[in-house]
Chains A and B, each alone.
Chain A
Amino acid sequence: MRYAETGFDLEIDLTRGSIERVETDPRLTELHLGGLGTSAKILWDRVPPEVEPFFPDNLLIFSAGLLCGTPAPGANRTIVSTFSPQTLLMAYSMMGGFWAPELKYAGYDKVIFRGKSPDLVYLWINNDKVEIRDASHLQGRGAVETAELIRQELKDPKVQVAAIGLAGENRVYMASIEQGRSSASRLGIGAVMGDKGLKAVAVRGTRDVNIARPAEFMELCKEVLEYIKVREEKPVPGVMPILAGLGSPQEMKLHDEKWHTENFMWGNSRIRKRDFWNKEVAEKWEETQENVRTRLISCYNCPMKCGAIISVPGILTYMMKCFSKLTYTMAAFSDLDFGFRIAQRATEYGVDGFSTPQVMAFALELYEAGILTDQDMPGMPSDSEGRFYWLLDRIVRREGIGDVLADGTYWAAQHIGKGAEEYAHNNIKKHEQLPLKLGMLNPVYFLMYSTGEKVNITQIEGSFPQAPFATMEEREDFVKDWIQVPDEKFKQYLLDWEFRGEHSNPYYPTVEMSCEIVDWQEMMHYIDDALGICAGLSSFPLKPPYHIHNFPAFISSATGIDMDEEGLTQVARRNRNLVRAVNVRRGLRRADEKPPEDHWKKRFPELEAELLDTYYKFKGWNNQGIPTKETLHELALDYVSEDFLQRGILTDNEGSPSKKTSAGKERK
């Protein structure tokens, strides 16, 4: 019997309309656990670098994490992976909600799509019965609307639906996959789904997920719940409100937006409004939020309340979480009421709330600079809010200038020319980043921004505080019950970290310490993404209930696989190196690993070079960021180094440089 996992994947060929149920190799679970890990293995094995994102041979994989469907609190993430039309690299985007556990109960760990359907279809998984169904009547429908229509059609309110909206159908690069209160938004995976002619995946399951050592496993679950209770009563003092508690940032619960509105940039990540937040704004925004927020809600089997039902009078109800509350508001220099209104339309269209507002603000900057003209924007309203709606409608339909903007700021700027590239200033690896511009370089963040495979800082940061604590008392108080550290030395790093002087950014944490801190933070994300544990209970907040010391017991009691801290660290390294390898084979090199030039005002080219050099060495990579033969051998990834040698990406002679390319400079 297989434990925690079902041991079966669904293979769907959309070109031929075929459906297969395939037993998976349990050895791969031992090597990669599941979720992102096993999906990366499939993408390495089956999608060669010549296959472009919109080729039929590109795969789109919906994967449950290894612990999804078990009673482990917060184990509900679906990891969707494919190749990104935006970055031309591997894309993985995750969503919480209820979909992944339902897939497990239906009897599958993954659904792997290949090919392209000639007509718009959706997949209906009902335990053993799996069918590809016509979706022509759903064409152009909103993502939330589609889910409702499918539930009605199937006459079962318990069906979980992941769907794309108009943006995905039209292969807009910031198209998301929406699923109730959650979405997999980044890197254009909704566009790949639309390209495959797949409108939605609906799933319902009524079977068991088994646990290898039940009593031990339940004891661990209880401990996590107990810890959550205690931790919720003890917010971390001295940090901004969203970092004090657990969960994904509690944007739906909190009203105090002083930190975001005064520290994040407005418009096209340009303008900082240092004195924006005052009593009047605070009162008005609180009233707005209270009036539209019907209920705080969670994902499957999680006591947190990171999401909310939003009912703005006059428009359809939808669900929201996290920072999209403010992204439209701030990009349009508007207020919270506008933010809640336009987010409803954006959710139905199915677009990334992170990139989309920046793309629109970018277009308006170009217009104000005279690079885009009235000829490009015929009939555009004169007010900022009106312009945002106007642009959004055109982007998701790829109409006129919308067709250009639908490729994101990087490609749009290339297309427009005339100096537009200067305005696409907030990208890493061709992808829009948080609208954040800071003063002093933070060495840990420099490394995470540069080298993160997810190309999204929130998916790689979290375990270590973002900034030092002001006083020694605060620091001592913080480290007192900091049980999550993999090694005691991290406590000392924090104790010694100062705002000013010798022990402050950018030279402290030192280069070596920075590498260790980054390594810890990303390890936790790679573990979460393999297990399907929400980052909000693990790798994202400070002092979370899940950590490197209790994960091994969770894994071994759930699956029966022998696992200790060393073994789990090794699995996380293996997965991290495999994802890197997939990207290296697509051309990712050192030249691509850099934060936006204006991310920090004070930059230190020599230090930055040293940071990258040292981090690469620390990781067992060469100076181009490519895992070496020895590293790959240690991780049982010899098949990767063989491929690298064949392709000339690695050479047998360590001294000779590898073939130089840079990730997908051109689009074909």
Chain B
Amino acid sequence: MGEKKKKIVKTIKIDLDKCNGCRSCEVVCSAFHATPKYSSNNPARSRIRVIHEPLRDIYLPVYAGEYAKAECSGRDKYVIDGKEYDECAFCRASCPSRDLFKEPDSGLPLKCDMCEDDPPQKEPLCVQWCLNDALTYEEREEEVEEEVKLEDVEVGLESMADKYGLQKIIDTVARMSMSKKG
């Protein structure tokens, strides 16, 4: 068990009524997370996606959340103001049931990191680029238990271990490092 600690909780408030469906959030997210920074742009790599179906007036920005190794056994459907949202629409998980929040080349999971940067950004980039204020940024202080935070590499490895088995990953890494040395 971790220690109780004060922590800043970063929140993005999403106002669906204000979204004009422009996907600037996807654009700047993928650019920010490119290596080197801003060197390329590709919404398929974005950690936010606007689920949009104009003819049903559905505009729903969703952030990439935790990686989930299995899909849910059931599905939820939401009806809001008479509009039925597709099952999984509000879910943030990168999971086997859909191609959302996965690196297009590797299939590895993506997750929103609130644009952690050095020096820190004043707000996540998607919020900065949303001139219609569909996305706004809020911070509040909470007392939370400290947790060990997984690094990107660890999250990726974990998902690969789920897919291929940990032993196979260990063997492969060992083989790779051997051949690099050789």
- Which residues of A sit under 8 angstroms from B40, Cβ to Cβ? 208-211
The reply to whether the CB of B97 lies closer than 8 angstroms to some CB of chain A is: no
- Which residues of A sit under 8 angstroms from B53, Cβ to Cβ? 157
Which size class do B's interface residues fall under? 20 to 34
Interface residues of B in 41-93 (CB under 8 A from A): 41-45, 51, 53-57, 59
Contact of A301 among B22, B55, B56 (CB under 8 A): B22
- For residue B55, give the distance in angstroms from its CB to the closest CB of chain A: 5
Whole-angstrom distance between the alpha carbons of A106 and B43 in the complex?
Answer: 11
Question: In the bound complex, do residue B41 and residue A209 qualify as a contact, i.e. CB atoms below 8 Å apart?
Answer: yes
Interface residues of B in 1-60 (CB under 8 A from A): 20-24, 27-28, 31, 34, 36-45, 51, 53-57, 59
- For residue A4, give the distance in angstroms from its CB to the closest CB of chain B: 10
Q: Which residue of A lies closest to B42 (CB)?
A: A208
The reply to whether the CB of B129 lies closer than 8 angstroms to some CB of chain A is: yes
The reply to whether the CB of B172 lies closer than 8 angstroms to some CB of chain A is: no
Contact of B55 among A71, A144, A304 (CB under 8 A): A144
Whole-angstrom distance between the alpha carbons of A69 and B43 in the complex?
Answer: 9
- Which residues of A sit under 8 angstroms from B130, Cβ to Cβ? 303
- Which residues of A sit under 8 angstroms from B41, Cβ to Cβ? 69-71, 208-209, 211
With A208-B34, A229-B131 known as contacts, the answer to whether A305 contacts B57 (CB < 8 A) is no
- Which residues of A sit under 8 angstroms from B27, Cβ to Cβ? 71, 301
With A295-B59, A317-B55 known as contacts, the answer to whether A303 contacts B132 (CB < 8 A) is yes
The reply to whether the CB of A403 lies closer than 8 angstroms to some CB of chain B is: no
Stretch at the interface among A20-28, A213-221, A614-622: A213-221
Interface residues of A in 46-101 (CB under 8 A from B): 69-71, 73, 98
With A206-B44, A209-B40 known as contacts, the answer to whether A71 contacts B28 (CB < 8 A) is yes
The reply to whether the CB of A531 lies closer than 8 angstroms to some CB of chain B is: no
Whole-angstrom distance between the alpha carbons of A317 and B54 in the complex?
Answer: 9
Interface residues of A in 99-157 (CB under 8 A from B): 105, 144, 148, 157
Whole-angstrom distance between the alpha carbons of A455 and B102 in the complex?
Answer: 46
The reply to whether the CB of B104 lies closer than 8 angstroms to some CB of chain A is: yes
- For residue A50, give the distance in angstroms from its CB to the closest CB of chain B: 42
The reply to whether the CB of A299 lies closer than 8 angstroms to some CB of chain B is: yes
- Which residues of B sit under 8 angstroms from A214, Cβ to Cβ? 31, 34, 36-39
Whole-angstrom distance between the alpha carbons of A209 and B27 in the complex?
Answer: 11
Question: In the bound complex, do residue A105 and residue B42 qualify as a contact, i.e. CB atoms below 8 Å apart?
Answer: yes
- For residue B29, give the distance in angstroms from its CB to the closest CB of chain A: 10
- Which residues of B sit under 8 angstroms from A205, Cβ to Cβ? 44
Contact of A218 among B24, B38, B43, B132 (CB under 8 A): B38
- For residue A403, give the distance in angstroms from its CB to the closest CB of chain B: 32
Question: In the bound complex, do residue B54 and residue A297 qualify as a contact, i.e. CB atoms below 8 Å apart?
Answer: yes
- Which residues of A sit under 8 angstroms from B43, Cβ to Cβ? 105
Q: Which residue of A lies closest to B17 (CB)?
A: A295
Contact of B54 among A69, A215, A303, A319 (CB under 8 A): A319
Whole-angstrom distance between the alpha carbons of A316 and B59 in the complex?
Answer: 18
Q: Which residue of B lies closest to A302 (CB)?
A: B22
- For residue B119, give the distance in angstroms from its CB to the closest CB of chain A: 14
- Which residues of B sit under 8 angstroms from A105, Cβ to Cβ? 42-44
Question: In the bound complex, do residue A305 and residue B20 qualify as a contact, i.e. CB atoms below 8 Å apart?
Answer: yes
The reply to whether the CB of A228 lies closer than 8 angstroms to some CB of chain B is: yes
Contact of B22 among A70, A295, A300 (CB under 8 A): A300
Question: In the bound complex, do residue B57 and residue A294 qualify as a contact, i.e. CB atoms below 8 Å apart?
Answer: yes
Most buried by A among B55, B56, B131: B55
Question: In the bound complex, do residue A300 and residue B42 qualify as a contact, i.e. CB atoms below 8 Å apart?
Answer: no
- For residue B157, give the distance in angstroms from its CB to the closest CB of chain A: 23
The reply to whether the CB of A34 lies closer than 8 angstroms to some CB of chain B is: no
- For residue B17, give the distance in angstroms from its CB to the closest CB of chain A: 8
The reply to whether the CB of A180 lies closer than 8 angstroms to some CB of chain B is: yes
The reply to whether the CB of A358 lies closer than 8 angstroms to some CB of chain B is: no
With A69-B41, A206-B104 known as contacts, the answer to whether A180 contacts B28 (CB < 8 A) is no
Q: Which residue of A lies closest to B131 (CB)?
A: A303
Whole-angstrom distance between the alpha carbons of A205 and B42 in the complex?
Answer: 9
Contact of A180 among B24, B45, B54, B129 (CB under 8 A): B54
- Which residues of B sit under 8 angstroms from A217, Cβ to Cβ? 38
Whole-angstrom distance between the alpha carbons of A206 and B104 in the complex?
Answer: 6
The reply to whether the CB of A296 lies closer than 8 angstroms to some CB of chain B is: yes
Question: In the bound complex, do residue B38 and residue A225 qualify as a contact, i.e. CB atoms below 8 Å apart?
Answer: no
Whole-angstrom distance between the alpha carbons of A395 and B43 in the complex?
Answer: 41
Whole-angstrom distance between the alpha carbons of A132 and B31 in the complex?
Answer: 32
Whole-angstrom distance between the alpha carbons of A206 and B106 in the complex?
Answer: 12
Interface residues of A in 369-403 (CB under 8 A from B): none
The reply to whether the CB of A309 lies closer than 8 angstroms to some CB of chain B is: yes
- For residue A181, give the distance in angstroms from its CB to the closest CB of chain B: 7
Question: In the bound complex, do residue A207 and residue B104 qualify as a contact, i.e. CB atoms below 8 Å apart?
Answer: yes
- Which residues of A sit under 8 angstroms from B38, Cβ to Cβ? 71, 211, 214-215, 217-218
Question: In the bound complex, do residue A298 and residue B55 qualify as a contact, i.e. CB atoms below 8 Å apart?
Answer: no
With A73-B24, A211-B40 known as contacts, the answer to whether A228 contacts B54 (CB < 8 A) is no
Whole-angstrom distance between the alpha carbons of A203 and B36 in the complex?
Answer: 28
Whole-angstrom distance between the alpha carbons of A144 and B55 in the complex?
Answer: 9
With A214-B36, A229-B131 known as contacts, the answer to whether A309 contacts B24 (CB < 8 A) is no
Most buried by A among B21, B42, B51, B104: B21
- For residue B95, give the distance in angstroms from its CB to the closest CB of chain A: 17
Whole-angstrom distance between the alpha carbons of A295 and B57 in the complex?
Answer: 7
- Which residues of B sit under 8 angstroms from A305, Cβ to Cβ? 20, 132
Question: In the bound complex, do residue B42 and residue A309 qualify as a contact, i.e. CB atoms below 8 Å apart?
Answer: no
Whole-angstrom distance between the alpha carbons of A294 and B16 in the complex?
Answer: 13
Most buried by B among A301, A303, A309: A301
Contact of B20 among A208, A228, A294, A297 (CB under 8 A): A297
Q: Which residue of B lies closest to A98 (CB)?
A: B23
Question: In the bound complex, do residue B131 and residue A225 qualify as a contact, i.e. CB atoms below 8 Å apart?
Answer: yes
Q: Which residue of A lies closest to B16 (CB)?
A: A295
Whole-angstrom distance between the alpha carbons of A228 and B24 in the complex?
Answer: 14
- For residue B22, give the distance in angstroms from its CB to the closest CB of chain A: 4
Whole-angstrom distance between the alpha carbons of A610 and B45 in the complex?
Answer: 57
- For residue B38, give the distance in angstroms from its CB to the closest CB of chain A: 4
- For residue A247, give the distance in angstroms from its CB to the closest CB of chain B: 11
- Which residues of A sit under 8 angstroms from B57, Cβ to Cβ? 294-295, 309, 311, 317
Whole-angstrom distance between the alpha carbons of A214 and B57 in the complex?
Answer: 35
Ordered by A's residue number, 27 sampled pairs between the chains whose C-beta atoms are within 8 Å are A71-B41, A73-B24, A98-B23, A105-B44, A208-B34, A208-B41, A210-B40, A211-B38, A211-B41, A214-B31, A217-B38, A218-B31, A218-B38, A225-B131, A229-B131, A294-B57, A297-B54, A300-B23, A301-B24, A301-B27, A303-B131, A305-B20, A309-B55, A311-B57, A317-B56, A317-B57, A318-B55
Q: A208-B40, A210-B39 are in contact. List 18 more A-B contacts (CB 8 A).
A: A71-B27, A71-B28, A71-B38, A71-B41, A105-B42, A144-B55, A157-B51, A157-B53, A181-B54, A211-B40, A211-B41, A214-B38, A298-B20, A303-B22, A303-B132, A305-B20, A317-B55, A317-B57
- The 4 tightest CB contacts between A and B, nearest first, are A214-B38, A206-B44, A303-B131, A206-B104
